[in-house]
Amino acid sequence: MEKINIESTPKTPSINFDFEKGFLEIKGRSIPENSIEFYKPIVESLEKYGAKPIAVTTVNIQLEYFNTSSSKCILDVFKKLESIHKSGNQLVINWYYEQDDEDMLEAGEDYQAIINVPFKMIQIEE
């Protein structure tokens, strides 16, 4: 499988997916009008990765802003991760939020309540 490396734009985050290392990172802002189109390739590669994941998968989510349209797609990404975790693989989602950004922390906690995967809330010092 090819690595995925997508550069960030003013409305979409950077995506790094290194299959061999079991590392996925989504970083920046996610506020596209059409988020399904943007997230489709990531959800699809997670599907493929899920068939043969490596022993430990690490996921870093470091978002500055995200819109409600992205929030559904991020949930789809997490659902794929959930099924990887469910089939007995070690997996952790690191949810980064800036100090004082209570809304972003709360957003992470919302996902934590919905998705059955270990979450780690990590505060970034400004």
What DSSP line would sit under 38-90, residue for residue? Answer: HHHHHHHHHHHHHHS--SEEEEEEEEEEE-HHHHHHHHHHHHHHHHHHHTT-E
Number of C-beta neighbours around residue 98 at 10 A? 13
d(CA 112, CA 23): 19
**Between residues 9 and 87, which has the closer beta carbon with respect to another protein?**
9
Distance in Å, CB of 108 to another protein, minimum: 12
The site for another protein (CB under 8 A) is made up of 10-11, 31-36, 65, 67-73, 75, 98, 100-104, 106, 110, 113-114, 126
Distance in Å, CB of 9 to another protein, minimum: 9
Amino acid identity of residue 46, one-letter, is L
**Between residues 20 and 68, which has the closer beta carbon with respect to another protein?**
68
Burial of 7 (0-12, 13-18, 19+ CB in 10 A): exposed
**Between residues 75 and 121, which has the closer beta carbon with respect to another protein?**
75
**Between residues 19 and 30, which has the closer beta carbon with respect to another protein?**
30
Distance in Å, CB of 36 to another protein, minimum: 5
Distance in Å, CB of 72 to another protein, minimum: 5
